[in-house]
Amino acid sequence: MASIPLVVQLLLLLLPLPLREHLWSSHRPNDVGAVGELHPIFVLPGVACSDLEARLTEAYRPSVARCGVMKGKGWFALWENSSELSTHHYNECFEEQMSLVYDPVANDYHNLPGVETRVPYLGIVKGYHQKQPSDKPWCLTELIEALEEMGYRDGDNMLGAPYDFRYAAPVPGQASQVYSRYYRELMELVETASKKHNKKVIILGHNLGGMVALEFVRNTSLAWRERYIKHLFLVTSMLSPGFVNLVKNLASGPEGSRILYVPNATDLSLRLMWRSFETSILPSPRVFGHKTIVITKQRNYSTYDVEDLLATIGFSAGIKPFRRRMVARMNYFEAPKVPLTCINEVGKRTPRQLVY
């Protein structure tokens, strides 16, 4: 069975374990072909699997003095081990230092003045981990282990492309300081890996990582894609909790336990920080049309009323970036023009309507 094409082998890896073993029991990884035949693979997991480091400069004006303790002390892990946030009474400072600011002049997002951030572990997958201490590993850990069994090696032919989930990947024509740099670095990594192994690369993105992977590919020239991309896998990149949930995150705060685990924080207490992040996408009129997505005593809202809804939930500041950045992303349907496999969940119940 050594002749199973690599892409099919990768698809098998994405199946639940019992099904995979059933389909693939007769040939263990060591007979799937020589390691030299593997196409390098780039793995991008979902939201909050990448870490974030920060550095506070003199320009930082903390809202409370103790949030300035790290000023001038160099890089530190801001978003890596959330258990430590409460140990160090850093929750409030974390929320402030994670927050973004929308700049209407540049029509782009950036950190608070004096807060610099960077994403560590570019190029390797070992840095990925979920921040919920009690959860079983869900940052594609099992897939990464299965790839290792196939002969993939971290940082060699299996590469990580951790990203800053607070920003949304831009579509053509949109400025994005953070993603301009990220795309450039990722292109270089792809080129290096491809040349080193003399093969095109596979890119696999899960959840929000799928959106990032898709925009990355669509940001490159057609000639570049043809030269370097073997296949693009988008795994539940249409966000498995559903799109209406994204409205809920803005209205009531992110579901702390899943997306953004901060000990002792309630969804509501994280709302201000969450709203400062660039929201990738909300339910689109193209899909939801005039259907009511939010019911309140005073009024019902469809996807055509999102601006009014943002004002009603006390987030008028979100209207401009919604209009100037998000709508363009929601209406950008250009195919990535590379061999593509999308894997979506079926039979999963997702909310269609929020009742307040």
In the complex with ligand NAG, the residue whose CB is nearer, 86 or 240, is 86
Closer to ligand NAG by Cβ: residue 106 or 295: 295
Q: Which secondary structure element, helix H or strand E, spans residue 117, and what is its range?
A: strand 115-118
Residue 292 interacts with ligand NAG (CB under 6 A): yes or no: yes
Residue 141 as a binder of ligand NAG (CB under 6 A): the answer is no
Q: Which of 120, 263, 285, 351 forms a contact with ligand NAG (CB under 6 A)?
A: 263
User: Quick one: 2 or 223, whose CB is closer to ligand NAG?
Assistant: 223
Token couple for 342: 């999308």
- The CA R_g of the chain, rounded to the nearest whole Å, is 21
How buried is residue 185: exposed, middle or buried, by Cβ count under 10 Å (0-12/13-18/19+)? middle
Q: Per CB under 6 A, which region of 114-122, 168-176, 185-193, 302-310 contacts ligand NAG?
A: 168-176
**Taking the complex as a whole, how short is the minimal distance between the CB of residue 168 and ligand NAG, in angstroms?**
11
Question: What are 291's two structure tokens?
Answer: 């259907």
Q: Cβ closer to ligand NAG: 25 or 264? A: 264
Is residue 205 within 8 A of residue 237, CB to CB? The reply is: yes
Q: Which is nearer to ligand NAG, 84 or 135 (CB)?
A: 84
Stretch 3-22: interaction string toward ligand NAG, x if CB under 6 A: --------------------
Helix axes 141-150, 6-13, angle to 10 degrees: 140
| Residues 172-211: x where in contact with ligand NAG by CB under 6 A, - otherwise, as a string | x-xxx--xx--x----------------------------
Applying CB under 6 A, among 77, 106, 268, 295 the residue interacting with ligand NAG is: 295
Strand order in the sheet with 76-79: 76-79, 52-56, 115-118
Could you count the other beta carbons within 10 Å of the beta carbon of residue 151?
17
Measured between alpha carbons, how far is 13 from 60 in angstroms, rounded to an integer?
46
Do the Cβ atoms of 201 and 213 come closer than 8 Å?
A: no
| CA 107 to chain CA mean position, Å | 21
Question: Least Å distance between CB 114 and ligand NAG?
Answer: 24
Instruction: Return the number of the residue (96 or 108) whose C-beta is nearest ligand NAG.
Output: 108
Closest Cα partner for 279 from 306, 246, 239?
A: 246
Q: Which of 34, 264, 346, 347 binds ligand NAG (CB under 6 A)?
A: 264
Per-residue mark of binding to ligand NAG, 85-114 (x: CB under 6 A): -xx---------------------------
300 binds ligand NAG (CB under 6 A): yes
Task: Give 21-90 as a 3 state SS string.
Answer: HHHHCCCCHHHCCCHHHCCCEEEECCCCCCCEEEEECCCCCCCCHHHHCCECCCCEEEECCCHHHHHCCC
Please identify, using beta-carbon distances, which residue of 153 and 290 lies nearer to ligand NAG: 290
Binding mask 65-84 for ligand NAG (x = CB under 6 A): ----------------x-xx
Nearest residue (CB) to ligand NAG, 60 versus 179: 179
CA 41 – CA 282 distance, rounded (Å): 30
Of 219, 236, 249, 276, the residue at the interface with ligand NAG (CB under 6 A) is 219
Residues near ligand NAG, by CB under 6 A? 81, 83-84, 86-87, 170, 172, 174-176, 179-180, 183, 219, 263-264, 292, 295, 299-300
